[in-house]
Chains A and B, each alone.
Chain A
Amino acid sequence: MAENNLLEMRQIEMTFPGVKALNKVDFTLRAGEIHSLLGENGAGKSTLIKCLTGVNKKDGGTITLEGKEIQPQSPQHAIELGISTVYQEVNLCPNLTVAENIFVGRQPMKHGQIDWKTINRRASELMSRFHLSIDVTRPLSYYSTAIQQMVSIARAVDIQAKILILDEPTSSLDDNEVQLLFDVMNELKKEGMGIIFITHFLDQVFAVSDRLTILRNGQLVGTHKIEDITKVQLVTEMIGKDIDTIFSLKRAEVADGEADMLVATHIGAPEKLEDMSLNVKKGELVGFAGLLGSGRTETAEMLFGATRITKGEIAIDGSKTEIKKPFDALVAGMAFCPEDRKRDGIIGDLSIRENIALAVQARKGFLKPISTKEQNELADKYIKALGIATPDAEKKIGELSGGNQQKVILARWMATNPKVLILDEPTRGIDVGAKAEIQRLMLEMCGEGVSVIFISSELDEIIRCSNRIIIMRDREKVGEVDGETCTQDQILSIIAEGSTAAGGEAS
């Protein structure tokens, strides 16, 4: 190893009850380097980072920062040592202003008082470095997740740490913002900061890293220079299996004369979407492409009754259905996995069994409880069918990894035997292996005659799975293409130009 290691983690061990989360893992970071940390969910990336940031206490091994051994005790202590972190979920305070979120805990003082003027001025400057001209005196909750994420990056950057850890910072950013982040990362690198970058986007790894380290099942697989490895090698090392077996997915087959399962005609709600029509056939998978905020989620929410429509009508299985609230949709045979599973999907303190039984119970009505025995059968069936990695059905869902949480939510809705399943970003923030499994499950359900609406920001997975793709832009449907024949460029040009002519009507 080179002499100029900024950080050395040697033989790190960490055990959770029943699981060896980290087994003698080595990791080094040089000054002025961007080092990607890769692995599937549950591989131990987050655990390794948490040992470094003092959230978890390691059971064995040593951490050396600039030649001195350190024992981070708490996030506060880690920050004092010069280790600053941006977490995957925005970890800021929504009630404080943007400026305050950047400076809270280390506010510039003048005459023993907080110097608000300087805080707001410096925050504005910092945000303009990220090409954001926003009012920094507004509460953070006023802005979108993407901006919030930029603010948390700005905070971490401004701390002037020696080490910057970015744990999936890009999952809520669009391409421009990601590019911006990369520019900032490269600047910081030149200034001699060591950056640890965790992401599921392999393209981003290759775009920005100098070296990468791969973990699998709590063990070190290897550290490589970026020039020395190809994407296929990388994925193979990450999942430990041959990549082709995972990606051999078959699109759902829909007969030509198949009846429409869901038809929405000219539905709309004020301030959400003006006018939207779509149809989904039985057993068909319709993908929704478009940028963040283009109206994809809004459409899903209108279909499911989370937003009440003020015009248009929805028909399910040939009969007109009035959907005023999500319960109506549930009864009509719809199911909806919302975008933000932490907020709208899981109930963290309940067990896997209870989380799975939830929707079935809601549909039956709460006066007819499902017996524990039935719940257990239900849970066991889906844990097996979906390959949810858990010791038993009684584990709290909050303790599972992201991919497994998503599977539990899928199980919840599959258990209701829906006719129409709406999935909003079901694969966000989960790793390649789990992603492929979710996609496989989706397609299996189509095979059983379920109509699936699939919303995703990742074009390649939409193209890989969908029969038809609806393209949204600026809260409008701007195109519809055939999933089998279209290309990524075609869709991108429709999103960019907003014209149906570019792609042409299909199906």
Chain B
Amino acid sequence: MSDRSLASRRSLGSRIMNPKYIMIYATIGIFLVMYLFGAISYGAQGFTTLRTITNLFVDNAYYGISAVGMTMVLITGGIDLSVGAVASLTGMFIAYGTTVLGIHPLLCILFSLVVGVGLGLLMGWVIHRLNVPPFITTLTGMFLARGVCALISRESIEIKHEMIDSLASWKIYFMQLKDGEWVKIKPISYINFNVILFIVVLIAGIYILQKTRFGRNVYAVGGNEQSAKLMGLPVGKTKILVYGFNGLCSVLAGVAYALYVKSGWNLSLMGAELDVITCAVIGGTLLTGGVGYMVGTLFGVLLKSMIPALITFNGNLLSWWGKIATGLLLLLFICIQKLVLGVTGRKKTSKTKPIKE
């Protein structure tokens, strides 16, 4: 990622082998293995085409957007179970607002942002100030948001608005030069607004974590909250803002999902928070806090969404196999994490004496 440093003094090898990157390598490695498996098994059905990859993005952008916020929360050592409900609530606001009340969707989105970020900040405040465990606090937030969803409507509401329609159907096609003419490549591959939103949020996440003091405080708080406090870092502010940022991501994920399905339903995205957490964890983020990278999360999202893609290509398997495979994958990653932590820990003990010049 962005740790460009001391290039002149340390060899490339030692920089690449830095133990802090091991988890990312594991994620990328397993992603490549799965891609290779798909390419060998289903190459003939067109698995290796660009379309497979772009579809991973198009179909899972809303997970990705939410996973960016979740990664940040997990790095502080917290957790946020309200993301699915807040995204669903956003969908309800947009659907009910535009279709039933006739409000412009942009105003609905703005309203959702105020509610989502506000709820995030409030949960952050409760976690920090009242010292309530994040699990309970955000569980409460989840019930609250779900409740409001049901209050608005128990029925699925279709979103009917010109702007939403045009935004949802807006696509950038991948083109190639054929006989001096630009034509869409076959099979047709495209990215849409959701993918761009995901990439913007992801880059924002990388920038915040790597290039701002706030981002580094996020890591410090997750590493050791007590130490961070004694080092004079603004622990409370960091935690509250992280939940606020995650609220923002939840709302944007809700917008992306609304564009994807063009409707709002109070029971949509049930349990999505767990999928999002799964993406972050198989992307190398530690649930105990302090460790995690956005690039890892990106591959976590891709890896997790590759499973249903492979099942679709296979054609014979029931989609429930996807859940089983995801479970196994998660288990594998938790084992790798334990193993990696064990290995770096052992290295430490064999090096108790300082290296003198």
CB pair B18 A114 closer than 8 Å: no
In-complex Cβ contact of B230 among A85, A95, A144, A176 (8 A): A85
A350 CB-CB contact with B under 8 Å: no
In-complex Cβ contact of B231 among A94, A104, A121, A138 (8 A): A104
B228 CB-CB contact with A under 8 Å: yes
Interface centre among B10, B216, B347 (most CB of A within 10 A): B216
Bound-state Cα–Cα, A107 to B231, Å: 13
Chain B contact residues, CB within 8 Å of chain A: 2-6, 9-10, 14-15, 18-20, 210-213, 216-217, 219-220, 222-224, 226-234, 290-291, 344-348, 350-357
CB pair A117 B4 closer than 8 Å: yes
**Among listed A129-137, A259-267, A360-368, interface-contacting one:** A129-137
In-complex Cβ contact of A137 among B6, B216, B348 (8 A): B6
A141 CB-CB contact with B under 8 Å: yes
Q: A107-B216, A121-B6, A135-B14 are in contact. Are A92 and B231 (CB under 8 A)?
A: yes
**Among listed A74-82, A236-244, A280-288, A432-440, interface-contacting one:** A74-82
- Chain B residues whose C-beta falls within 8 Å of the C-beta of A147 in the assembled complex: 354
What would 14 more interface pairs be, CB under 8 Å, given A91-B224, A138-B18? A80-B232, A94-B290, A95-B20, A95-B290, A100-B216, A104-B231, A117-B4, A131-B356, A133-B355, A133-B357, A137-B15, A139-B344, A141-B348, A144-B351
- Chain A residues whose C-beta falls within 8 Å of the C-beta of B233 in the assembled complex: 76, 104-105
In-complex Cβ contact of B227 among A92, A119, A133, A134 (8 A): A92
CB pair A96 B353 closer than 8 Å: no
Residue of A nearest to B210 (CB): A114
In-complex Cβ contact of A78 among B232, B234, B346 (8 A): B232
CB pair B219 A96 closer than 8 Å: yes
Q: A147-B354, A293-B352 are in contact. Are A91 and B230 (CB under 8 A)?
A: yes
Bound-state Cα–Cα, A76 to B234, Å: 7
Q: A76-B234, A117-B4, A142-B344 are in contact. Are A137 and B10 (CB under 8 A)?
A: yes
Residue of B nearest to A54 (CB): B232
Q: A75-B229, A87-B230 are in contact. Are A292 and B353 (CB under 8 A)?
A: yes
A143 CB-CB contact with B under 8 Å: yes
CB pair B211 A150 closer than 8 Å: no
Q: A91-B226, A114-B211 are in contact. Are A134 and B346 (CB under 8 A)?
A: no
Residue of A nearest to B10 (CB): A135
In-complex Cβ contact of A124 among B6, B18, B231 (8 A): B6
1/0 contact string of A411-435 vs chain B (CB within 8 Å): 0000000000000000000000000
Bound-state Cα–Cα, A124 to B356, Å: 14
Q: Closest approach, in angstroms, between the C-beta of A271 and any C-beta of chain B?
A: 6
- Chain B residues whose C-beta falls within 8 Å of the C-beta of A109 in the assembled complex: 213
A93 CB-CB contact with B under 8 Å: yes
Q: Closest approach, in angstroms, between the C-beta of A431 and any C-beta of chain B?
A: 23
CB pair A139 B20 closer than 8 Å: yes
1/0 contact string of A195-234 vs chain B (CB within 8 Å): 0000000000000000000000000000000000000000
- Chain B residues whose C-beta falls within 8 Å of the C-beta of A128 in the assembled complex: 357
A-B contacts, 6 listed (Cβ < 8 Å): A75-B232, A93-B231, A113-B212, A132-B355, A138-B18, A141-B345
CB pair B220 A93 closer than 8 Å: yes
- Chain A residues whose C-beta falls within 8 Å of the C-beta of B356 in the assembled complex: 131-133, 176
A459 CB-CB contact with B under 8 Å: no
Interface centre among A94, A142, A271 (most CB of B within 10 A): A142
Q: Closest approach, in angstroms, between the C-beta of A90 and any C-beta of chain B?
A: 8
Q: Closest approach, in angstroms, between the C-beta of B24 and any C-beta of chain A?
A: 14
CB pair A120 B5 closer than 8 Å: yes
Number of residues from A at the complex interface, CB < 8 A: 56
1/0 contact string of A64-88 vs chain B (CB within 8 Å): 0000000000111011100001010
In-complex Cβ contact of B348 among A93, A144, A291, A292 (8 A): A144
- Nearest 7 A/B pairs, CB to CB: A293-B352, A93-B223, A95-B290, A95-B223, A120-B5, A79-B232, A76-B232
CB pair B348 A55 closer than 8 Å: no
Residue of B nearest to A150 (CB): B354
A177 CB-CB contact with B under 8 Å: yes
In-complex Cβ contact of A96 among B223, B347, B348, B355 (8 A): B223
Bound-state Cα–Cα, A488 to B18, Å: 42
A35 CB-CB contact with B under 8 Å: no
A370 CB-CB contact with B under 8 Å: no
Bound-state Cα–Cα, A141 to B342, Å: 12
Q: Closest approach, in angstroms, between the C-beta of B73 and any C-beta of chain A?
A: 16
Q: A75-B232, A124-B9, A142-B344 are in contact. Are A93 and B354 (CB under 8 A)?
A: no
- Chain B residues whose C-beta falls within 8 Å of the C-beta of A247 in the assembled complex: none
Q: Closest approach, in angstroms, between the C-beta of B227 and any C-beta of chain A?
A: 4
A155 CB-CB contact with B under 8 Å: yes
Q: Closest approach, in angstroms, between the C-beta of B286 and any C-beta of chain A?
A: 8
Q: A91-B226, A144-B351 are in contact. Are A104 and B217 (CB under 8 A)?
A: yes
Residue of A nearest to B289 (CB): A95
- Chain B residues whose C-beta falls within 8 Å of the C-beta of A142 in the assembled complex: 19, 344, 347-348
CB pair B353 A105 closer than 8 Å: no
Q: Closest approach, in angstroms, between the C-beta of A310 and any C-beta of chain B?
A: 15
Q: A91-B231, A138-B18 are in contact. Are A293 and B344 (CB under 8 A)?
A: no
- Chain A residues whose C-beta falls within 8 Å of the C-beta of B10 in the assembled complex: 135, 137
- Chain A residues whose C-beta falls within 8 Å of the C-beta of B4 in the assembled complex: 116-117
CB pair A104 B216 closer than 8 Å: yes
CB pair A292 B352 closer than 8 Å: yes
Bound-state Cα–Cα, A119 to B217, Å: 15
Bound-state Cα–Cα, A292 to B351, Å: 11
- Chain A residues whose C-beta falls within 8 Å of the C-beta of B230 in the assembled complex: 55, 75, 85, 87, 91
Q: Closest approach, in angstroms, between the C-beta of B76 and any C-beta of chain A?
A: 11
Q: A55-B230, A78-B232 are in contact. Are A93 and B224 (CB under 8 A)?
A: yes
Bound-state Cα–Cα, A143 to B344, Å: 10
Bound-state Cα–Cα, A104 to B223, Å: 12
- Chain B residues whose C-beta falls within 8 Å of the C-beta of A293 in the assembled complex: 352-353
Residue of A nearest to B234 (CB): A76
